[in-house]
Structures are given as C-alpha cells and as structure tokens.
Structure 1
Amino acid sequence: MEKETQIFGIRAVIEAVQAGENIDKVFVQKGLKGELSHELEGVLRKQRLNFSYVPVEKLNKLTSKNHQGVVAQIAPITFWDIEELVTKVTESGKTPLFLLLDQLSDVRNFGAIIRTAECTGVDGIIIQKKGGAPVNGDTIKTSAGAVFKMPICKVDHIKDAMFFMQASGIKVIAATEKTDDVLYDVSFTEPCAIIMGSEGKGINPSVLKLVDAKAKLPILGEIESLNVSVACGAFLYEAVRQRR
C-alpha cells in the first residue's frame, strides 16, 4: 500500500472530494472565511466526511506548502463496506468476531488496537466516519503494519453497525464499567462484536442502551480504569480463550 497522501488548498480538496478520493480526514483552519471556504464546508457536510477545525499552527505542522487553511488526508487503505464484510465472514463458516470503536480519538491507541485485533483473529473493525482517529502514519506505525491486513469499515454512526450486526445474528457486547458483569462471566463463544468507547467518555450512553450484553474488567488497584487499547486486548484474548 502507498504511504499517507495529503491534499492541500481549498479548491484542490473540493475537487478531490467530488472526484471520490478516499479521504480519511480534513483539517480546516478555525475562522476560515470566504465563498470558497463556505463551498468546501458544504461539500464536506454533504459527503459526511470527517473534518475538524484546527488552529493554523496545526496545519503548518502537517505541511510546509501553501495550504490556504485546508489539509486533507487520503487514507492509505481502502475501507470495506460493512454489509459486504459481514456477509463474507458469516458465509465463511467461522464464528464471527468483530470490533466496534465508538469515536476512539487517539491514533496510537487505534494502531495498537488494530495490531491486537489482527493477532486475535478479529474479522473486522468498524469505526464511525466522524469523530474518530484517522488512519495515518502514526496508526500504521503503531499497528506494525496490521492496518494493511485488517478489514476496516466506516459507518455514518456506530448505531448503524450495531443494528446491522444484531439483524445478522451477531451479539453486541459493550466493554464498560457500568455493569456488575465481569467479562469472564460473559460468553464470547457465539458470533459477537465487542464495542469499545472513547478514551475520555467511554461508550456513548445512547449506544450503550442498545447493546445485548455488558462486561467489565475487574480493577483491583486504586486507578479506576485501563488504557482503552490495553482493555481491548484483555477482552479480545478472553474471547480467544473461550473459543479455544
């Protein structure tokens, strides 16, 4: 796969979006004004692309070129269609194991999770188009190249993925401290998808209401939570243990 590619300049980014480029995330300078910038925002919103407003210093770090207040990152991978992936896995004869990430924002955590997911036989990772970490150079490095081996899907909202999983006979299990059930007492032997929340907020409450089961890790120390990539590893290896 080719390395991460950047597109900079308002008109160039608009044309790239309209041409269907595989854009992962767009950074727009805070306070950017003008007719062209207004057109850009309209195009980004229409295509439901992941974009954020950042200070100009952030853009200057991303590129030394004349960015005109806009830098877009083209993903180094091709994202899967969730229906195609779930159908492919369910028809393969194996017991599906998916991972849903609810707006995980740190690229290094994302990369570490992808690496663990590949090592534990996860069939695919589903992320939300907006609000999540991009697939960039840091993600690739932290994943040790696993990002090129792991199918990744993007959906408009994580609920969309949950509904489709459940309709396909796949149980959705939330990794959350908001339960009395410890993960060792929850079954991961049937088709399932584990959902992990963001670093700061965890799983969105509206999403948590829709899961089929909840499970938590026992915390024996004084610190109340683990890093999300570490917690994800514990959940995935419990699924591996139960399925052996």
Structure 2
Amino acid sequence: MEISPKDKFVTVYGRKPVLEALDDPRLEVDKVLLAEGARGPAAKEILDAAGRRGVRVQRATAQRVKVLAGNGRHDQGVLADVVAPRMRPLELALRDRPRGVLLLDGITTPANVGMILRTATAAGMDGIVVPRRGVASIDPLVVKSSAGVAFRAPVLRCATAGEAAAQLRAAGYPLFALDAGARESVYSFSLPSHAAFVLGSETSGISDEVRPHVTGWLAIPMAAGVESLNVASAAAVLCFEVVRRRGCPRESNLRTP
C-alpha cells in the first residue's frame, strides 16, 4: 500500500522547534518549508542550519505554511518534516501481528498525548494508535511533552479511533478499555497473547464510535478514596503491567520498514 507523507513524518513548526530539529544529529529532517516573505536574521539562521545538514529548503506562501502546519498562530512562517522511522499506517502494522497496541480515543490535551507516547514507548508497547482526527496532533507541544520520544515512538496512523477499533477487531484483537467501575482488574485479568487497549477522553471517556468494539473493561484499583488517575498516569500503569506480565524484553515487536 502507498504510505501518505502524513504517516511518515512528524511536522514541527515555529523557529525554535525547527532549529532544534536541525541541530539534533539524531534526527533526519526531510525538508524545511519557509514562507516567501521570511527574511532577516531568523530566516538566515534557519537557512544556515539547513545548509549545514544538507536539508533542502522550499519556499511557499505564508498561507501554505499555515495550512501545512495546521496552526495559524504559532508557525512563524516555517516548518520542518522530521522523519519518524517507526511511524506507519495501522493497516500495514497489523500485518506484523503486534502483541500489544494502545489506541488513543478523543485525547485532545497535547501534554497527555506526549506523556503517553513517552510512557508506552519506554514500556515496550508495539504500537500506539494516534488517529489523525479527534486526538491532539503530533506537534511541537506533543513533542516537547514526550521529551522528544514522539519522533521515534511506534506511532500507528488511521483516520479515526472508530476506524482503528474496527480494524483491530477485524484482525482478531480483543479491545480492552479502562473503567473505574469494572469488575476485572488490570492486575488479574486474563491477558491474551495479542490485545489492544483503548484510552478514552479526559472528560467523556470512550467515544460512542469505539464503545461497540470494546470486548472487556478493566479497572485500576485505587486506595484512600481516589476515584481516578490522569489518562497519562493510567496509561503508565497499564503499559508497564502488560509488559511485566508478559515477562518479555521491553523491545517493540514491530519491524521498522
């Protein structure tokens, strides 16, 4: 299948994030897009940094930069496409039969998405589904919250969380969701060899388009009257418990294309 550029790159925008990407030798920058009217010391600094790395710079209208950045206030007339080597479409990733997949559903706070990417990657989850709609996009705020891990996280892309849930179920994956009132615990439920776990919105929980695909509900036991955890904290508990129970090395099961 043909892979969209949106499923290969993390786009960062703004002068400082673009310069940070260009100055990081661990990152491969595909190209820089600079607004036609961008001149002066800031533009020169970006051009010089791109030149040192051998990164091509394309000029475009300021409006084009805004559209591609997806942010009309903070792009500052420049963006960069950074290669994300482990990012790929969910449909393609499922051919490798990843053992553990995390699905983000309606999580719109960039800080939470960034922390989840960092935690799930550190735990060794095989894939984190970040839909293109309904979830905070992987932008400089998410990258910063992930402490840069977003560039190398095993991000799996699809249009919506509902579409992802349907694909996972069609591929034979049970889909577990967290619920404080669930009778089964994340510490004791029967863990299948392959499974997907959905994390819902910070305010409304699991969406109506995903809920019909959920096959099991799990709770994180709480003490001292605490009712719930922040979604990023809940993700940490879940991810590390899953890999602990499997007793496997914290390395991804997905091959890098």
TM-score w.r.t. the length of structure 1 is 0.68
76, 85, 100: which one aligns with 2:93: 85
1:153-172 map, 5 Å: 153-172=156-175
Q: Which residue of structure 2 aligns with residue 104 of structure 1?
A: 107
Show structure 2 runs of 5+ residues with no match.
Answer: 1-8, 15-32, 37-60, 248-257
In structure 2, the CA distance between the partners of 1:73 and 1:198, relative to structure 1 (3 Å rule), is farther
Q: Which residue of structure 1 aligns with residue 216 of structure 2?
A: 213
Q: Which residue of structure 1 aligns with residue 145 of structure 2?
A: 142
Report the RMSD for the aligned CA atoms in angstroms.
3.0
1:58-207 map, 5 Å: 59=73, 62-63=74-75, 76-78=82-84, 79-87=87-95, 89-90=96-97, 96-207=99-210
Aligned partners of 1:99, 1:225: CA distance in 2, in Å?
A: 19
| Letter aligned with residue 242 of structure 1 | R
* Corresponding residue SS for 2:107: coil
In structure 2, the CA distance between the partners of 1:3 and 1:15, relative to structure 1 (3 Å rule), is closer
In structure 2, the CA distance between the partners of 1:82 and 1:152, relative to structure 1 (3 Å rule), is same
Q: Which residue of structure 2 aligns with residue 26 of structure 1?
A: 70
Aligned partners of 2:106, 2:219: CA distance in 1, in Å?
A: 19
- 2:10, 2:81 within 8 Å by CA — same for their partners in 1? no
Aligned partners of 2:123, 2:65: CA distance in 1, in Å?
A: 40
Q: Provide, for residues 51-98 of structure 1, a one-character-per-residue CA deviation record: whole Å limited to 9, x for no partner.
A: xxxxxxxx2xx2566xxxxxx9776455511111111x32xxxx6111
- 2:178, 2:199 within 8 Å by CA — same for their partners in 1? yes
1:6-21 map, 5 Å: 13=63
In structure 2, the CA distance between the partners of 1:171 and 1:133, relative to structure 1 (3 Å rule), is same
Shift of 1:211: 0.9
Shift of 1:120: 1.3
Deviates more, 1:158-167 or 1:191-200: 158-167
Q: Provide, for residues 202-244 of structure 1, a one-character-per-residue CA deviation record: whole Å limited to 9, x for no partner.
A: 1114422321111011122333110111101111111012101
TM-score w.r.t. the length of structure 2 is 0.65
Shift of 1:187: 2.4
Q: In the comparison of the two structures, how many residue pairs are matched?
A: 195
Show structure 1 runs of 5+ residues with no match.
Answer: 18-22, 29-58, 66-71
Q: Provide, for residues 159-209 of structure 1, a one-character-per-residue CA deviation record: whole Å limited to 9, x for no partner.
A: 211121122222211122242222122223410111001111111144223
* Corresponding residue SS for 1:4: strand
| Letter aligned with residue 204 of structure 2 | K
Deviates more, 1:218-227 or 1:96-105: 218-227
* Corresponding residue SS for 1:222: coil
Q: Does 1:4 align with 2:48?
A: no
Q: Which residue of structure 1 aligns with residue 53 of structure 2?
A: none
* Corresponding residue SS for 1:128: coil
- 1:172, 1:212 within 8 Å by CA — same for their partners in 2? yes
Identical columns (%): 26
In structure 2, the CA distance between the partners of 1:232 and 1:137, relative to structure 1 (3 Å rule), is same
Q: Which residue of structure 1 aligns with residue 41 of structure 2?
A: none
